[in-house]
Structure 1
Amino acid sequence: MQINTMETIETLGTVAFAISGTFAAMQRRLDPFGVLIIAFVTSIGGGTVRDLLVGDTPVAWMRDVNYCLLILLTSLAAIFFKTHIKKFKVTLFLFDSLGLGLFTMLGIQKGITFGLSPGICVALGTITGCFGGVIRDTLLNTIPVIFHKEIYATACILGGVLFFLLKYFKVTDGASTIIVIAFIFILRVIVVRFKLALPKFGY
């Protein structure tokens, strides 16, 4: 995959998760500083964990201050336009789903760059896509969505498997990337629309 494509995906994913984090924080009525912190951890959390696992340090956002500026500007814009967006929950869901697909592909490509096996690449994609949301929900004192409802991490895993299937059938990386991002986004919309979920275990 061309570097420019990866940079575009990373920029879009960062913006999507920054908006997701901002709206999640505003739903909990945090002050502006708290909103910015949640926006940052949502955007950089998964990528930071991924980079630490593969030994790519300093992590991406520490090497390039533009990531921090992008998150800051996106969060401020979301705060400014909040009066024009009445359905916070829908907005949060859509941008979270988009960010999930984008960041999953970033994690998979990072694994490929480091020459890791397909299974580990899928795991890195899942971590990149999900862990920002896990940190966000933990800081907001809610059970992370990945642990208790909906098909969230499963969407990342299925998307990763789909990517390597497409790769096996010689589909270009660019086309495969678009297909997988769309697949994860649409799958999330379908499972939430029809209230699908994995079985729950407990007493």
Structure 2
Amino acid sequence: MLTLIELVGIFFFAVSGSLMAARRGFDMLGSAFLGGVTGLGGGVVRDLILNQSPATFAHPVYFLPPVLAALCVYAFTPAVQKLHRLVQIFDAAGLGLFCMTGTMKALENDVNPVTAVLLGVITGVGGGMLRDVISNVTPDLFNPRDVYALPAILGATATAFAWHFDVLNIAVGTGIAGLTFVLRLASIRFGWSVPLAAGHWHRQPNIPNHGDGPRRNF
């Protein structure tokens, strides 16, 4: 069941990668590659941290969703102006599934709950971050006007609690993934954000330069 959920999550993330490839004008091979990086990247990083051989390379079936995603995007891509919103929707779906499966796999390997939550978040955000870096756009993870990791943290934490109290089943897991998905889309819709790294009282005011040379902040 965990493998099946992961394959569905890979497909959702891969679709977001292939949509980004279409948006950036990549060819079919670029679409399949970017979809594969997006869908498989977070899981590969998680497995390497767990000191395991990545399941991606042990089971070729994991490469099927990115190829299917590239074909689906090629056949059914809507108008270009709608691609960014579709990328966000499919990315949110993959985020909801992967933050849960990443946490579950870590817990299955007797990792402590805090580290398991961290690995769940890495699994959820890793592929999307690689996709954006390769596409030469600012990753959502580092966008100050966006909330990307927080829904994954909440979803991974809820998964760890459900596992600890032995109530994690298909229905509960679906609810956790759905809640993460809704929170991610709500953050986009309502423009939620988290405080910047430096408080407003630390930031320098914009003092006009009257020809005395460039200002230097030390």
**Secondary structure, counterpart of 1:196 in structure 2:** coil
The farther-off stretch of 69-78 and 177-186 is 69-78
1:49 paired to 2:14? no
Q: Which residue among 3, 9, 16 is the counterpart of 2:5? A: 9
1:109 paired to 2:110? no
Unaligned runs of 5+ in 1: none
- Higher helix fraction (1 or 2): 1
Unaligned runs of 5+ in 2: 204-218
Kindly, what percent of the aligned residue pairs are identical?
A: 33
1:139 paired to 2:134? yes
1:144-183: per-residue Cα shift (whole Å, max 9, x none)? 1101232111111111222233345553433331121011
Cα separation, 1, equivalents of 2:30 and 2:133: 14
Cα separation, 1, equivalents of 2:42 and 2:19: 18
Give the TM-score, by structure 2 length: 0.85
Cα separation, 2, equivalents of 1:169 and 1:69: 35
The farther-off stretch of 170-179 and 127-136 is 170-179
Residues matched between the structures, number: 198
1:75-110: per-residue Cα shift (whole Å, max 9, x none)? 112111114786212211111000001111111011
Aligned counterparts, 1:62-77, within 5 A: 62-77=57-72
Cα separation, 2, equivalents of 1:190 and 1:180: 15
1:110 partner letter: K
Cα separation, 1, equivalents of 2:60 and 2:166: 37
Cα separation, 2, equivalents of 1:22 and 1:72: 9
Q: Is the 8 A contact 1:44 1:132 kept in 2?
A: yes
Cα separation, 2, equivalents of 1:16 and 1:143: 20
Q: CA deviation at 1:8?
A: 2.2
